[in-house]
Chains A and B, each alone.
Chain A
Amino acid sequence: MPPAAPRSGDAIFASVERVNAELFTLTYGAIVRQLLTDLEEVEEVNKQLDQMGYNIGIRLIDEFLAKSNVSRCVDFKETAEMIAKVGFKMFLGVTASVMNWDADGTCCSIVLEDNPLVDFVELPDTCQGLYYCNILSGVIRGALEMVAMKTEVTWIRDMLRGDDAYELQVKLLKQVPEEYPYKDDE
Chain B
Amino acid sequence: MAAIYSLYIINKLGGLIFYKDYGSKGRMDTNDSLRVASLWHSMHAISQQLSPINGCSGIELLEADTFDLHCFQSLTGTKFFVVCETGTQHMEALLKVIYELYTDYVLKNPFYEMEMPIRCELFDINLTQAIQKNRLLSSLNQLC
Contacts and interface: CB of A to CB of B under 8 A. Distances in A.
Secondary structure at the A interface, as helix, strand, loop or mixed, is helix
A62 B107 contact: yes
A110 to B, nearest CB: 20
A72 interface: yes
Given A62-B78, A66-B99, A180 B108 contact: no
Contacts of A30: none
A159 interface: no
A146 B13 CA distance: 12
Contacts of A62: 74, 76, 78, 99, 102-103, 107
Given A66-B99, A178-B45, A61 B76 contact: yes
Given A58-B114, A61-B76, A66 B45 contact: no
Contacts of A178: 12, 45, 77
A146 B114 CA distance: 11
Contacts of B75: 65, 72, 147
B2 interface: no
Interface residues of A, number: 16
Which among A59, A61, A67 has the highest number of chain B CB atoms within 10 Å?
A59
A178 B41 CA distance: 12
B107 A59 contact: yes
A59 B76 CA distance: 10
Contact of A63 (B45, B46, B96, B107): B107
Contacts of A146: 76-77
Nearest to B57: A72
Interface in A91-131: none
A157 B88 CA distance: 54
Interface residues of B, number: 21
B63 interface: no
Contacts of A59: 107-108, 114
A113 B74 CA distance: 32
Contact of A147 (B76, B104, B107): B76
A66 B76 contact: no
B92 interface: yes
Given A1-B93, A180-B45, 13 more contacts: A1-B92, A4-B96, A58-B114, A62-B74, A62-B103, A62-B107, A63-B107, A65-B74, A66-B102, A147-B75, A147-B76, A178-B77, A182-B45
Interface of B: 12, 42, 45-46, 57, 74-78, 92-93, 96, 99-100, 102-104, 107-108, 114
